[in-house]
Amino acid sequence: MDGLTGRTHETSGGRRARAGTLKRKRMESGQTLTEFALMLPVLCLLMIGIVEIGRATAITIGVNNAATAGAEYGAYNEAAAQDVAKITEAATDDFNIAGMTVNTVHGCSCDYRTGSSCTYPVMTGSCDAIDCGEDQIIECVQVETHAQWDSLFHYPGLPTTYQANGRAVLRVRR
């Protein structure tokens, strides 16, 4: 190439060199397609795995949030804490997936001025039957949610059904 005019100086050897380059490019174009065809199944498996992990994460978060929504409804006041149907409805309204179960436990214990709070498992029983003396009665509601789902793709050696569990325990407002 001439630096002043920008033209290419052609020689008989240069033409042969270009012809060899074109022939080599034609031969290599099939190699790229072959490499892509070999990697495509691996890329598809990787993509399906990413989708499965994202789906499992979303379902687990939803099941946990449903337990929290049910417990928040039950913790509103003493009447709401005993309304199991409404607590279940609040949980399923928050995250509705086929086959999700909601279990509710309502109970009371005594606060012996040690900063006691609701712990797992919640003590069951009527709050009227508890005598704490001068200490305060703690009323708690616990909501557990469980959901099972099938994976989109069945990997060899891995289960086909997975389970997500959620639990929330809150103190009832008095």
pLDDT per residue over 79-116, tens digit each? 898 899 999 999 999 998 888 999 999 888 777 777 66
Per the domain annotation, does 13 fall within a domain?
A: no
> Which structural domain range is residue 81 located in?
31-171
Confidence category of residue 10, pLDDT binned at 50, 70, 90: low
Predicted TM-score (pTM) of this structure: 0.73
97 in any annotated domain: yes
| Whether the predicted pLDDT of 121 surpasses 70 | no
Residue 8 in any domain: the answer is no
Residue 3 forms part of a structural domain:
no
More confident residue, 24 or 88: 88
- Residue 50 domain flag: yes
pLDDT, residue 156, reads: 83
Which among 147, 140, 156, 152 has a CA at the least distance from the CA of 71?
140
6 domain residue, yes or no: no
pLDDT (tens digit per residue) in 38-54: 999 999 989 988 999 99
Mean pLDDT computed over 68-74: 95
117 located within any domain? yes
Is it the case that residue 14 has pLDDT exceeding 60? no
**Structural domain count, the chain:** 1
Q: How confident is the model at residue 19 (pLDDT cuts 50, 70, 90)?
A: low
Pairing verdict, β 101-111 and 161-171: unpaired
Please work out, in degrees rounded to the nearest 5, the angle formed at the alpha carbon of residue 140 by the alpha carbons of 97 and 86. Answer: 40
Q: Is residue 102 part of a domain?
A: yes
Task: Determine the straight-line distance between the first and last CA of the chain, rounded to whole angstroms.
Answer: 91
Tell me the torsion sign for CA atoms 119, 124, 126, 132. negative
**125-159 pLDDT per residue, tens:** 677 777 777 777 888 899 999 999 998 888 788 88
Q: How far is CA 136 from CA 71, 86, 109, 113, 119, in A?
A: 21, 27, 9, 8, 16
Contact in structure between 145 and 104 (CB atoms under 8 Å): no
CB 104 within 8 A of CB 88: yes
